[in-house]
Structures are given as C-alpha cells and as structure tokens.
Structure 1
C-alpha cells in the first residue's frame, strides 16, 4: 500500500519528516537550557507520543528519566468523547519532580488539562507540556503548552504517532486523512 500524499488515503502532507526532525532538535535544545540542573522526567502519553518521545529524548543532550501513561478521551471515532480514562498509569513516583508531558497533539485540550491537574495532584514540583502539534481553533479547554512543534488547522491528521483506528502511526510525516475513510 502506498501511503504517499496521493489523495486516496492521505489528502496532503502538512508537516514533512524533515520539518518534524528539525523542530524537535530546536525544542530539545531549549528544553536542555530550561531544565539545566533540574530533576526532569519525561512522561509520554501512549500511544501517540511514541515517535516524538523517542526522537526528542535522543536529541536531549542530558540524562532524563522517562515514564509512560495511557489516557484517552477518544473512542474509535475522530472526536473526543469528553470523558478521560487512565488505561496505563505511571510506574514511577513523581513527587517533587519536574514533569514534562510529551504529547502528539493538543486538540480540544480536555485530555491534557485533566492530565496536568492529575500529575500536579500527585505532588509533581512542576508540570509542563510538550506537544508536536496544536490545533488552536479546536481548543475548548485552555492548556498552556510550553513547547509546541507546529500549529495546524482543525483537520483530521495522521502519521508520526497519530492514528485512525490504529493505522497510519508509522508514517514519518503528518498528513490529512482522506475524509472518505472516516465519514
């Protein structure tokens, strides 16, 4: 199956592989400066943040701890259900730690708002957000993302960890999914 931007499955590529990697390097350099001498733990949000977590952590020129959570406000569709559920919790204690949530996309803000509050309630010293993508027009809850890769329009996108029915995560770019696949 050819998943290039031919219009059959992917309407267009909106962020290329090269753009993603270049921006991650820039953001990693800023994170290293911002957290110099501080006890940083990256918390990746499964499954979408797998690609970003792997690449970002390799670009960080320092030691960092990593952990994972799986939370969802989506079912099988393309819209948030409005209810956040923990599917996999942290393995490590974050009491007194500087937490950087690594997320694939900031859409409505519901999941990240809930997750930020949840981690603060566990005694994290601070909680900040890194997101590869942000959809400013889709926000229904205000979430301050300290590190943003790209602002994108409110279209349904896949690739670089983002999926539709568990497919397309492995694309090295971010593209708009053809509407006929989910309409």
Structure 2
C-alpha cells in the first residue's frame, strides 16, 4: 500500500507485466514499420516512460517528438483537453505513431487527431500501454495496446495523481 497526497493506492500491475506489455507493443511496431522512418509522437507527461522504453526497442530508423496535453484534475477528467506544449516538427506526409500512457475516454486522442489532420500527416496509429475499453467513448482505432484494464484510477510508470507517483516502477490502483 502507498499513500499519495490524501489517497491510498494498492499494487495492481507488476514490473514484469509492464515489461511484457512493452515488449508486445514494440514487437508489433517493429513488424509493421520495418524499413520505414516513422515519427513517434509521445504525449507528455504521462507517456515519457512508455515512450522511452518502446522507442529503445524499435529496430529501425525513427524520429521522436512530443506534445503536452492536459485534461485531468485530481482523479477525474475535466472533459476539456488543453494543449500545453505543441508540435515543434513538420509532420506533413509522415507516418506517425502516437505514444500514450493510457487511453480512457479518448478525449486526448480527439484533440491529437485535430492537430495531426491540420498537419497533413500521411497516417497515424495509436500505441498505448494501458487501454480502458469500458471508459472509451470515441471511434479512433487503438491498434497497439499493451494491457486492457478495468476503469480504475491508476498511478505509476508515468501516471500520476496530482503530480505524484510518476516515478513508481509498478502500477497501483486507488484503494476503494
């Protein structure tokens, strides 16, 4: 059990399970993007650990960029996604792989979709470490999902609760 701010969290996903999920996603990306030069677009802050680990396992040439979007306050989404740090790279006619820590409602993906359409990308796919199918409300294809999980609030491995917990190597769920 751990305490972050006013909430308690209990162990949920082990380091070994996370490693296995990363290896699965990286293997799929290596097969699908062999002999290509995709742009990995990491979504900050949460995806920094997953992006690093997946990109280290990518066997071909690639480029890396980041955007920072925010929609959470405390343990729930506000529903409004704000761009906090925009693109600094030309993506016209490029193949892009969006690297997300977690896909729940899909609101962040909707905002990224608008950005990428405006940029004129050739195509894009979504790679996420965690996917919450129960919470997902959008139509975007989630091609690469490390782990499908129930709609619980989690922290660790890049995910936080009001700034705390991103550095944890395991994932914890909120104690109910």
Q: Confirm or deny a common fold (TM above 0.5).
A: yes
- 3-state DSSP of counterpart to 2:134: helix
Please show how residues 54-65 of structure 1 align to structure 2 within 5 Å: 54-65=52-63
Contact 1:120/1:127, CA 8 A, preserved across alignment: no
SS of the counterpart of 1:45?
strand
Query: Could you report, residue by residue, the CA deviation over 1:1-34 in whole angstroms, capped at 9, with x for unpaired residues?
Result: x749xxx832232x21111112211221211110
Relative to the length of structure 2, the TM-score reads 0.91
* 8 Å contact kept, 2:15–2:169: yes
**How big is the alpha-carbon RMSD for the aligned residues of Structure 1 and Structure 2?**
1.7
Partner of 1:173: 170
Q: 2:120 aligns with which of 123, 129, 132?
A: 123
CA shift digits 1:70-99 (9 cap, x unpaired): 01122x222221212110011211011100
- Is the strand fraction higher in 1 or 2? 2
1:112 paired to 2:105: no
Unaligned stretches of 5+ residues in structure 2 = none
Q: 1:93 aligns with which of 57, 65, 90?
A: 90
When normalised by structure 1's length, the TM-score is: 0.88
CA distance in 1, matches of 2:137, 2:143: 18
SS of residue in 1 equivalent to 2:108? helix
The residue aligned with 1:134 is 131
Per-residue CA shift, 1:54-84, capped at 9, x if unaligned?
111111112210000001122x222221212
* Structure 1, 60-69 or 44-53: larger mean CA deviation: 60-69
Where do 5+ consecutive residues of structure 1 fail to align? none
Q: Spell out the pairing of 1:6-155 with structure 2 (5 A cutoff).
A: 9-13=8-12, 15-74=13-72, 76-155=73-152
